[in-house]
Amino acid sequence: MKIGLLVPANNTTMERELLAWLPAGSSCRTLRVPRGAGLLTQGTVPAYVAKAIELAGDFSGGDYDAIVYGCTAAGFISGAQADAALANELSQRAGRPVVTTARAMVLALQDCAAKEIAVVTPYLDPVNERLTALLADCGIRVKRLNSFRAADVDELGRIPEEEVAALARKTMSVDCDALLIACSQLPTHGIVEGLQREWNRPVWSSVQATAWQTLKSTSHLQ
């Protein structure tokens, strides 16, 4: 597969892990959306989204199978309808179908019939509240949530995979249908399978769900 990827400028995880989840030999052209040092908020998302839409035009004319909008918080902070509208606008600019990480997470959880879930994030509480609200609007209740509450992108980028796994184990419970690790910067490729075995429950990460939805949305091309 050939993917065009839009991610926050600070993201050092998604390209590597997306390709690890996709079929061998897949390739990715990554464009990085400028942003400040602070984590995205409802107030800063509009300017960020405008930059993403502008950059999407650089994919126009390329022979990509899909464009991936891998900006997790920027996708869910404004709600499902805004995320769908943005996907449509990005698709028009790029001339290719668009998969958003925010929508992919919801679809993955719905596919495994998850109704009550555990969630791990790196976000501050106002952003966690927006994620909880989006999932609730889609019929998914966040029963347990723990967060690293990273203060900025530097702190976020220093969170290692083993700490993500430890917080996941602290958060997940047998009374939850599934576990979601939300954020395309958090490293998860090496821990998802083990967590699934431990809990005998579905475990989804942002990047894993995005790869899954990208494969589904382009299956007619394969």
CA 146 – CA 86 distance, rounded (Å): 28
Q: Which CATH number fits domain 2-100+209-221: 2.30.40.10, 1.20.210.10, 3.40.50.12500, 3.40.50.300?
A: 3.40.50.12500
Sign of the Cα pseudo-torsion (107, 28, 55, 64, in order): negative
Tell me how far CA of residue 22 lies from CA of 1, 15, 60, 81, 93, in angstroms: 8, 11, 22, 27, 24
| Cross-strand bridge partners of residue 98 | 67
Q: What is the pLDDT of residues 27-67, one digit of tens each?
A: 999 999 988 777 777 888 889 999 999 999 999 999 999 99
CA 137 – CA 28 distance, rounded (Å): 32
CB 1, CB 212: distance < 8 Å: no
Amino acid at 86: L
Q: What is the pLDDT of residues 130-155, one digit of tens each?
A: 999 999 999 999 999 999 999 999 99
CATH of span 104-205? 3.40.50.1860
**Sole residue written with tokens 């989840």:** 21
CA angle 67-155-136, nearest 5°? 55
Q: What is the pLDDT of residue 41?
A: 78
CA 73 – CA 90 distance, rounded (Å): 17
Q: What is the pLDDT of residues 116-129, one digit of tens each?
A: 999 999 999 999 99
Nearest to 130 by CA among 41, 2, 16: 41
pLDDT beyond 60 at 14: yes
pLDDT beyond 70 at 222: no
Domain ranges of the chain: 2-100+209-221, 104-205
CA 188 – CA 184 distance, rounded (Å): 9
Q: What is the pLDDT of residues 171-192, one digit of tens each?
A: 999 999 999 999 999 999 999 9
CA 7 – CA 120 distance, rounded (Å): 20
The domains spanning 2-100+209-221 and 104-205 adopt the same CATH topology: yes
Q: What is the pLDDT of residue 45?
A: 87
12-51 in b/e form (b: 16+ CB < 10 A) is: ebbbebbbebbeeebebeebebebeeebbeeeebeebbeb
Q: In what order do the strands lie in the sheet with 203-205?
A: 141-147, 116-121, 178-181, 203-205
